[in-house]
Amino acid sequence: QVQLVESGGGLVQPGGSLRLSCAASELSFSSYAMGWFRQAPGKEREFVASISRSGGSTFSADSIKGRFIISRDNAKNTVYLQMNSLKPEDTAVYYCAAGRTFLKESILSTESQYNYWGQGTQVTVSS
């Protein structure tokens, strides 16, 4: 059974940093583009960032560009989201997702393109 398990969330002050990890199991990891989404209280889930199968291509939402970096380690079946200069509006549950693609550099930016989802990890940015 495919599992995506997020970790690294928590409480951080504005301006601080966190690094989220998502470990995949029972998945041919390098055959999947990976993405991060988030859902704030009372809001719909939104796209944050995506990375291609090879890791050579990435795409990020405008709201986090220049602050968040997505990366992956195919040898460890893990995708990361380095979050810097955090703001209170970044407070949300963060989800990782895996989407099967045939092209190594494909980027997936919509929920419907993803096949598997993690349970989420809470990130709270507050003083």
The arithmetic mean of pLDDT across residues 97-104, rounded, is 95
Cα of first residue to Cα of last residue in the chain, in angstroms, is: 40
* pLDDT one-digit tens code per residue, 10-38: 999 999 999 999 999 999 999 999 999 99
pLDDT, one tens digit per residue, over 55-96 is 999 999 999 999 999 999 999 999 999 999 999 999 999 999
pLDDT of residue 19: 98
Residues 11/91, Cβ–Cβ less than 8 Å:
no
* Residue-averaged pLDDT of the chain: 97
pLDDT of residue 102: 93
Question: What pLDDT, on the 0 to 100 scale, is given for residue 18?
Answer: 98
How far is Cα 127 from Cα 124, in angstroms, rounded to an integer? Answer: 10
Distance CA 39, CA 90 (A): 9
Strands (E), 15-67: 18-25, 32-39, 46-51, 58-60
Over residues 101-119, the pLDDT tens digits come to 999 899 999 999 999 999 9
Helices (H) and strands (E) in the chain, counts: 0, 11
* Residues 70 and 79 sit within 8 Å (Cβ to Cβ): yes
